[in-house]
Amino acid sequence: MSHRFDLRVYYEDTDLGGIVYYANYLKFIERGRSEWVREIGVDQRKLMDEDGIGFAVRRIEADYLRPAHLEDQLCVVTEHMESGNSKFVLRQAVMRGDETLFEAVVTLVAINRAGRPVRIPAVLRA
């Protein structure tokens, strides 16, 4: 199963040359993950407020393949790769049409308010 999240590159995302600043790809994929979780029916704010569970990025492997530019229409593709008791791994790509600009493998860990790993909620494991 994959999730798609469309976005446009704005001036604030770029450097003086109109090229997306490298750290903004991490913001783009974060938005893609947030929309994926929302689409599967998980209210992250409620999960934190009521259950005290949040998610933290534990590891990220990123490859910057081609630059995105001002006004580009992009798509963040998120795919689930694997899960454990307290972590899951996603593959994410930032695409411009059929062209892959950025790829990442992201490991997320479910944590409690004290920052300790906890079991992933059943709704997400399903």
Asked if 98 and 75 touch (Cβ cutoff 8 Å), the reply is: no
Q: How far apart are CA 112 and CA 124, in angstroms?
A: 16
Give CA 126 to chain center in angstroms. 19
| pLDDT, tens digit, 9 for 90 and up, residues 49-76 | 999 999 999 999 999 999 999 999 999 9
Provide the pLDDT for residue 75: 98
In one-letter notation, the amino acid at residue 49 is D
Catalytic annotation, residues: 15
Place of tokens 């974060």: 30
Question: For the chain, what is the domain count?
Answer: 1
| pLDDT, tens digit, 9 for 90 and up, residues 76-122 | 999 999 999 999 999 999 999 999 999 999 999 999 999 999 998 87
Q: What is the CATH number of the domain that holds 57?
A: 3.10.129.10
| pLDDT, tens digit, 9 for 90 and up, residues 1-42 | 799 999 999 999 999 999 999 999 999 999 999 999 999 888
Provide the pLDDT for residue 42: 87
Q: Is the pLDDT of residue 123 over 80?
A: no
The torsion angle over the Cα atoms of residues 104, 25, 63 and 93, rounded to 10 degrees, is 50
Q: Is the pLDDT of residue 124 over 90?
A: no
Structural domain containing residue 93 = 2-125
The torsion angle over the Cα atoms of residues 58, 5, 26 and 86, rounded to 10 degrees, is 0
Q: Is the pLDDT of residue 126 over 80?
A: no
